[in-house]
Amino acid sequence: MNSEFDYLNSYNINDYERPSVTADIVVFTIRSKEAENFRKDPKNALSLLLIKRGRHPYKDQWALPGGFLSPGETIEQCALREIEEETSVTPASLMSVGMFSEPGRDPRGWIISNAFVSILGGSEGPQRAGDDADDAQWFDVNFEQNENGLYMLRLRHEDICLSAVLKEEKSRFGMTSFVIEDRGSLAFDHAAIIAGALTALRSRAKDFEMIFDFLPEKFTLTELQNVQETVMNISLLSANFRRKVAGLVEETDEYTEGAGHRPAKLYRRK
């Protein structure tokens, strides 16, 4: 038996039908709202990037940034490339959320998507979205479970309010995912992707894992606390927060200035 013959017959790449593969990215950032008066610090809001589709299907509806995997790149490189094309910025982090492969999820055909969470912030600060022809905007995020056990996802940008309804589904195999009850004008299955991304982000933020990516290199402990509170939609006591993160940061000898109240020491991630 000839081994080259075996090899060539073992797999003809054209024998199998193949899906198109995309990467869709949920890009988060934290934006400051205007403060009430000169003394108060600004409030923060968790935001994510959506793009208004210029084509069918779902023309004129809002969708996650993303695009098709090209030969010669990894799916992570594809995700980074798409973010950079949209925002002209390299994100601080990239985390896989999972594969979305439900048949029929894309009316154009057999298209499966690897979803990612990415965070912009860091030294660049929140970027302008949509520098080119695309209509891209940051939407404030609100995601909560209501009294019926359903999850409400609300995304708001100025007058635009997208409101999706999802149900948590625990499969027999230990995976939990979200099923769309009402996609609320979000394109494709992107409401379910966003719900999964938020859940993954919050789970990581609990252990202080991705919260540094929202901030520049040097930051105050209060800023760090605000990030965790904003991401997880909770409220913490500062004394306890400081003790918990004490081992994760190191002091610098710099302070904030001109804040209308006592200056705060700047820290750096350890």
- Which residues of this chain interact with a copy of itself, rule CB under 8 A? 3, 6-7, 10-11, 13, 16-21, 55-57, 59, 68-76, 80, 91-96, 98-99, 101-103, 108-110, 112, 114, 118, 171, 173-175, 209-210, 213
Q: Which window, 57-65, 141-149, 196-204, 234-242, contacts DNA (CB under 7 A)?
A: 234-242
Q: Is 232 in the site for DNA (CB under 7 A)?
A: no
Residue type for position 217: E
CA–CA gap between residue 99 and residue 115 (Å, rounded): 6
Q: How many CA atoms lie within 13 A of 142 on its CB side?
A: 10
| Nearest partner of 102 among 166, 179, 164, 172, judged by Cα | 179
How wide is the angle at C-alpha 86 spanned by C-alphas 101 and 163, nearest 5°?
A: 60
| Nearest partner of 149 among 178, 171, 126, 108, judged by Cα | 178
Q: Is 38 in the site for DNA (CB under 7 A)?
A: yes
Shortest spacing between CB 1 and a copy of itself, in angstroms: 10
256 binds, among a copy of itself, DNA, none (CB under 5 to 8 A by kind): DNA
**Contact residue for DNA among 81, 105, 202, 242 (CB under 7 A):** 242
Q: Is 221 in the site for DNA (CB under 7 A)?
A: yes
Q: Considering beta carbons, is residue 47 or 220 the nearer one to DNA? A: 220
Cβ neighbours of residue 158 closer than 8 Å, sequence gap 6 or more: none
133 binds, among DNA, a copy of itself, none (CB under 5 to 8 A by kind): none
263 binds, among DNA, a copy of itself, none (CB under 5 to 8 A by kind): DNA
Site string for DNA, 201-220 (x = CB under 7 A): -------------------x
Residues that bind DNA (CB under 7 A): 37-41, 220-222, 237-240, 242-244, 255-265
